[in-house]
Structure 1
Amino acid sequence: MAGSLVTGWLLVVVSTATAALCLARASAPDTGRCERRTARTEGAMGAGMALMAAPGLSGGTGVWGAVSLAALFAAIALRSLLFAGGEAHRLHHGIEAGAMVYMAVLMAHAAGTGAHHGHGGHGGHGGAGPPAATLALLAYFAAFVLRTGVRLAPAPAGPPAAAAGAAAGGGRWAPELGTACRLSLALGMVAMLVAL
C-alpha cells in the first residue's frame, strides 16, 4: 500500500520497528498484565501496518493479502471495542483497527479491479476527492497525533532529585513508551490515509 517506493518502504521500516518495540515491551518481565495485552495489540497493529505499507502488496497477491489483513484487523477491532471497559487507548485501538479494515478493503477492491494508483491503487475517488470516511479518519488521527505529541513534549525541568526519582520509578520501560508506540502507529495511519 505505497504511493511511492520510498514512502512505502519508510512506512514498513517505522511500522516494523514500532511492532518490535511493542512486542519487546509485552515480553518484559516487569510489564503488568494489562500493559502486556496493550503492547501485544500495538505490536500486531504495527506488524499489520508494515505488511499493508509494503510496496507490491496490492499487486498480484493483493486481494488475498488484503482480505487476510482485513480479517486480522477486524478481529483486533472487535476485541478492542468489546473489552474497552472505558479505557481510551482500547477504544483508540478499535478505531485504528477499523481504519485498517477500511484501507484493506479498498486495497482488495483495487487489486481485484486492477487499479494501481495511490495507496494500494484505490481508484474509487474519481474526480470528486476522497470519500467522507477517509476525511473523517484523517481528521481523527491528525488530532490524535497532535494531542499525543503535546503530551509527550518534555515538561519544564524540576529539581534534579525529583527528576531522578521519576526516572528510576519507571522500571526498564518508561511509561511514555506505550504512548510513543501509539503516536508512531497514528503517524503511520495519517501517512497511509493521505496517500489513499
Structure 2
Amino acid sequence: MHGPPLVGWLLLVLGAAGGAYCTARARAAPPGPRRAFRAEAALGWGMAVMAVPAVTAPDSALWARLTAVAAGAAALPALSVRRRAGTGGWGGHHTVEAVAMIYMSVAAVLPAPGDGAGHTGHGTGPTGPSLVLTAVLLGYFAGYAVRAGLRLVPVAAAGPAPGAVALTERPELAAACRLAMSVAMCGMLLTM
C-alpha cells in the first residue's frame, strides 16, 4: 500500500478485526447465511492483506502483485453471493466493496502514467477515468460510513434491555464492523 506505514498498519488492524469478527460470525451462523458471512470475512482479511505497507517487503513490485492476487481472491466470493434474508444487509454494498478492492489491487500493480522510458509520472496518483472512479468510490464509502455511524446512535429504548446475546448475534457489532470497513476503504482510496 502507498502512503505512510503507520496508516497502513492501522488499516491492517481494522481489516483484520473486521475479518476476525466476520469469521466468528460465519462459524456461529446457521447454514443459510453462512456463505455470505464467509465472503464478508474474506473481504476483511483481503483488506488487511492489501493494507500491509510495502516497506515490509524486500521487493515492492512483487509484493504489490501478491497483494493484488490476494485481494482479488478475497473479493471474488463477495461477487457471487446474492442478498439473502438474515445476512444483515448483504447485497449491493459488499459488491461495491469487492469491486473497489479489485480496482485498488489492479491500480497498485499497474505503473503510474508516464512511467517507463521517461520516468516522469512517479507518484502522480490516479488520473483521468481512474480519478473519477476513485472519487466516486470515495464518496460512496464516506456516505456509507456516515449512514452506518448514524445507525449506531442509540435511540430511546422501546422496551427492556435484551438479555445475554452472543457477540456474533449483535446487530450493532455488525454495523460497527461495516462502518470500520468503510472508513478503512476511504483511507485506502485516499492513499492511492
| TM norm. shorter chain > 0.5 | yes
Amino acid at match of 2:155: A
- Percent of aligned positions that are identical: 36
TM-score, normalised to structure 2's length?
Answer: 0.79
CA–CA separation in structure 1 for the residues paired with 2:123 and 2:76:
23
CA–CA separation in structure 1 for the residues paired with 2:163 and 2:32:
21
CA–CA separation in structure 1 for the residues paired with 2:189 and 2:97:
12
Q: Report how far residue 176 of structure 1 moved.
A: 2.1
Per the alignment, residue 14 of structure 1 pairs with 14
TM-score, normalised to structure 1's length?
Answer: 0.77
Q: Does 1:191 align with 2:191?
A: no
Q: Does 1:180 align with 2:176?
A: yes
CA–CA separation in structure 1 for the residues paired with 2:71 and 2:44:
14
Query: Is the 8 Å Cα contact of residues 74 and 98 (structure 1) preserved in structure 2?
Result: yes
Query: Is the 8 Å Cα contact of residues 106 and 122 (structure 1) preserved in structure 2?
Result: no
Structure 1 gap ranges (5+): 115-120
Cα deviation code 1:26-60 (max 9, x no counterpart): 112xx233443332122111110011010116813
CA–CA separation in structure 1 for the residues paired with 2:75 and 2:40:
14
CA–CA separation in structure 1 for the residues paired with 2:179 and 2:51:
17
CA–CA separation in structure 2 for the residues paired with 1:23 and 1:73:
13
User: Which secondary structure state, in structure 2, belongs to the residue aligned with residue 89 of structure 1?
Assistant: coil
After TM superposition, the structure 1 = structure 2 runs for residues 1-196 of structure 1, keeping only pairs within 5 Å, are 1-28=1-28, 31-56=29-54, 59-80=60-81, 83-84=82-83, 88-110=89-111, 123-125=124-126, 131-158=131-158, 162-164=159-161, 167-168=162-163, 170-172=165-167, 173-196=169-192
**Closer, same or farther in 2 for the Cα pair 1:194/1:171, shift >3 Å?**
same
Query: Is the 8 Å Cα contact of residues 73 and 101 (structure 1) preserved in structure 2?
Result: no
**CA root-mean-square deviation:** 2.9
Cα deviation code 1:151-193 (max 9, x no counterpart): 11111245xxx232xx227445312222222111111101111
Cα deviation code 1:106-128 (max 9, x no counterpart): 011149x69xxxxxx864536x7
Number of matched residues? 179
Structure 2 gap ranges (5+): 117-121
Amino acid at match of 1:46: G
**Closer, same or farther in 2 for the Cα pair 1:78/1:22, shift >3 Å?**
closer
Query: Is the 8 Å Cα contact of residues 26 and 34 (structure 2) preserved in structure 1?
Result: yes
Per the alignment, residue 119 of structure 2 pairs with none
Runs ≥4 residues deviating over 6 A: none
Per the alignment, residue 117 of structure 1 pairs with none
